[in-house]
Amino acid sequence: MSLAKVYCVTGIDTDIGKTIATGLLARSFRNHGIKAITQKIVQTGCVGLSEDIIRHRQLMEIEPGPADYRGLTCPYVFPVPCSPHLAAELAIKKIDCEVIRNSTAALLAEFDLVLLEGVGGLMVPLSAECTFLDYLEREKYPLILVTSSRLGSINHTLSALELAHHRQLEVALIVYNRLAESDPRIVADSREVFVKYMKKYGYSGAVVDLLPLSEYEETGFPDFYSCFR
> C-alpha angle with apex 205: 160 to 50, nearest 5 degrees?
60
140 is catalytic: no
Q: Which of 18, 40, 93, 200 is catalytic?
A: 40
Task: Say if residues 70 and 79 touch (Cβ distance below 8 Å).
Answer: no
- Residue 48: other Cβ atoms inside 10 A: 10
Q: Are strands 6-11 and 143-148 parallel, antiparallel or unpaired?
A: parallel
In 3-state terms, what secondary structure has residue 78? strand
Catalytically active residues, by annotation: 40
